[in-house]
């Protein structure tokens, strides 16, 4: 038996090496009944029928509000008074430090975005804004005025609170839609320290290999 044979035998006796694998957490506006980590300053967040002028909801998400404030043609539609600002929250709990994280969001008329009470992006400027559908400039309610951004520097391991201060500036519909993801390291499976009995088994195996190499003892 060559050296490679010894190594092969040892390989059978020692635990396999551990591996590190990645993990991704996704989050999206879905309303409090579907996601208890969501709420707003007036109570539970609900899914709403979107205004036809809005972009379709991002994959796996819904447009949300505090009341039926989406499609003006829908039953019990209500338009919040101008100047109304409602805060929408998402509790995002991370088991590790984020290696990368991003979010895409839209709002009608616009929204300021905070993470852990730190302003990440302000509401769209009011001056010169016609709000024909919603804000003319990001962040608004269309694909052209949605915002996609890196939020990695604002997150930490443990509980993170995302807050969207959605503002009504020019009547009619009101709502919020978002989708995000956070990537980080998965749990590492590390080799345990071999027990003393394991070393004993290795020693006995090496002794047996040596005797096998020498052949039977002569009298």
To the nearest whole number, what is the mean pLDDT of the chain? 83
Residue 84 falls inside a structural domain: yes
Beta bridge partners of residue 160, listed in sequence order: 92
- Model confidence at 215, pLDDT cuts 50, 70, 90, reads low
- pTM for the whole structure: 0.76
CA distances from 21 to 127, 187, 189 (A): 48, 7, 9
Distance CA 215, CA 189 (A): 41
Q: According to the model, what pLDDT value does residue 187 have?
A: 52
Residue 130 falls inside a structural domain: yes
Average pLDDT of 157-184?
98
Give the number of domains in the chain.
2
Residues 113 and 172 in one domain: yes
pLDDT, tens digit, for every residue of 63-112?
999 999 999 999 999 999 999 999 999 999 999 999 999 999 999 999 99
Q: According to the model, what pLDDT value does residue 90 have?
A: 99
- Model confidence at 115, pLDDT cuts 50, 70, 90, reads very high
Domain membership of residue 148 as a residue range: 22-185
207: enclosing H helix or E strand? helix 196-214
Percent of the chain with pLDDT over 70: 74
State yes or no: pLDDT of 119 exceeds 50: yes
CB-CB contact of 45 with 95 (8 Å): no
- Provide the token pair at 91: 């509790």
State yes or no: pLDDT of 164 exceeds 90: yes
Residues 36 and 128 in one domain: yes
Residues 50 and 157 in one domain: yes
Task: Verify cis geometry, omega within 30 degrees of 0, for the bond prior to 77.
Answer: no
CA distances from 6 to 14, 161, 199, 212 (A): 12, 56, 15, 12
pLDDT, tens digit, for every residue of 175-212?
999 999 999 986 533 333 444 444 454 444 444 445 44
- Model confidence at 165, pLDDT cuts 50, 70, 90, reads very high
Residues 28 and 58 in one domain: yes
CA distances from 153 to 109, 111, 144, 182 (A): 27, 20, 25, 12
Average pLDDT of 109-120?
99
């Amino acid at each position: 038996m060559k050296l490679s044979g010894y190594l092969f035998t040892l390989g059978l006796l020692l635990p396999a090496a551990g591996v590190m694998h990645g993990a991704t957490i996704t989050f999206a506006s879905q309303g409090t009944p579907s996601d208890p980590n969501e709420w707003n300053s007036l109570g539970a967040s609900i899914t709403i029928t979107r205004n036809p002028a809005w972009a379709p909801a991002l994959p796996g998400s819904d447009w949300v509000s505090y009341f039926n404030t989406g499609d003006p043609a829908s039953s019990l539609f209500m338009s919040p008074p101008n100047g109304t600002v409602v805060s929408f929250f998402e509790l995002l709990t991370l088991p590790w430090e984020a290696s990368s994280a991003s979010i895409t969001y839209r709002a009608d008329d616009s929204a300021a975005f905070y993470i852990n009470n730190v302003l990440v992006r302000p509401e769209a400027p009011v001056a010169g804004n016609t709000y024909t559908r919603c804000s003319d400039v990001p962040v608004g309610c269309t694909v052209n005025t949605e915002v996609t951004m890196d939020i990695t520097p604002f997150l930490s391991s443990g509980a993170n609170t995302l807050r969207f201060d959605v503002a009504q500036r020019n009547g009619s519909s009101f709502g919020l839609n978002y989708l995000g993801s956070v990537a980080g390291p998965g749990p590492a499976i590390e080799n345990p320290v071999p027990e003393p009995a394991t070393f004993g088994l290795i020693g006995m195996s090496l002794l047996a290999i040596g005797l096998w190499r020498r052949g039977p003892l002569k009298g």
